[in-house]
Structure 1
Amino acid sequence: MKAILNVIWLLLCGLWLAIGYVLAGIVCCILIITIPFGIASFRMASYALWPFGRTVVRKPNAGAMSMIGNVIWIVLAGWWLAIGHIAAGIAMCITIIGIPLGIASFKMVPISLLPLGAQIVSTDAPITAGYAAPQTY
């Protein structure tokens, strides 16, 4: 079921949202000081492409620099990306079939606003003390 939802998501809005994250990441990587934002944006782009079966876990020891970085991120790019998720979620919720996709889009709003200090993990991975266990394939 996750694979079917991911394919539908990718075709309807995942590709466009991921392009937005990649563009934000490229802009952030052009400036040397904002490279951490660019790396976080590229992580979120992969999450926006294939969200079902993955979740976001906040790191409990993220620290003050993460908080300061998140405030800067909200001002520079976070609110644009959050608006994109909200618009996509509203558009998806218009149809009954799209409601799960709209809910997934709304769940991405917090990570689009506060990406630093968060980790994207598989829902199948056991979570211990706020961190995901490493995946073994």
Structure 2
Amino acid sequence: MRLLLNLLWVVFGGGIIIALEYLLGGLLLCLTIVGIPFGVQCFKIAGLALFPFGKDIVDVPGASSLGCVLNVFWIVVAGVWIFLSHIGLALGLAVTLIGIPFAIQHVKLALLALAPFGKLVRNA
């Protein structure tokens, strides 16, 4: 069932486009030394954006205070806008019964995109 939902997500849920956007953003961020930690987080979100079904987001135990500072910077610069775009897509998809599972995945991506430092994506 996960495979079918992931394939439908890639085609109809916008998964391939979202993953490519995160990959492009990660590559651009990795061009600078300062942007490398943020680029790595973009790659993490891109992996989840490509195949979100069957994956969970968990907090990393003992996350550092540096991650908290980086999350604050991320939220101020980009996190809020990415969060709002995923929520907008989720609301648009939740209008139909068929779109509800995809809307749930967009909410999952929105929560990770709001504050990605100190989070881990793992298989459910």
Give the TM-score, by structure 2 length: 0.91
Alpha carbon RMSD of aligned pairs, Å? Answer: 1.3
- C-alpha deviation, 1:71, in angstroms: 0.9
Residue equivalent to 1:129: none
TM-aligned CA distance change 1:80 to 1:86, over 3 Å: same
Partner residue of 2:35? 34
Q: Matched residues in 1 for 2:75 and 2:24: separation?
A: 15
1:94-134 per-position Cα deviation (integer Å, ceiling 9, x unaligned): 211111110111122111011111111001xxxxxxxxxxx
Residue-by-residue CA offset, 1:10-45 (whole Å, 9 max, x unaligned) = 112111221221232123212211201101111110
Shift of 1:76: 2.3
The CA deviation at 1:74 is 1.3
Q: Quote how far apart the aligned CAs of 1:68 are.
A: 0.3
SS in 2 for 1:116: coil
Report deviation, 1:75.
Answer: 2.0
TM-score by length of 1: 0.83
Ranges in structure 1 where 5+ consecutive residues have no aligned partner: 124-137
Q: For the Cα contact (< 8 Å) 2:10–2:51, is it kept in 1?
A: yes
Specify the alignment match of 1:11 in structure 2.
11
Mapped to 2, the partners of 1:88 and 1:64 lie a distance apart of 32
- Percent identity reads 37
Amino acid paired to 1:6? N
Q: Which residue pairs with 1:131 in the alignment? A: none
Contact preservation (8 Å) 2:71, 2:117: yes
Q: What SS class does the counterpart of residue 95 from structure 1 fall into?
A: coil
Aligned to 1:99: 100
Is 1:86 the equivalent of 2:87? yes
Matches within 5 A, 1:48-127: 48-123=49-124
| Long gaps (5+) in structure 2 | none
Name the aligned partner's letter for residue 53 of structure 1.
G
CA distance in 2, matches of 1:81, 1:25: 14
1:21/1:45 contact within 8 Å kept = yes
Count matched residues: 123
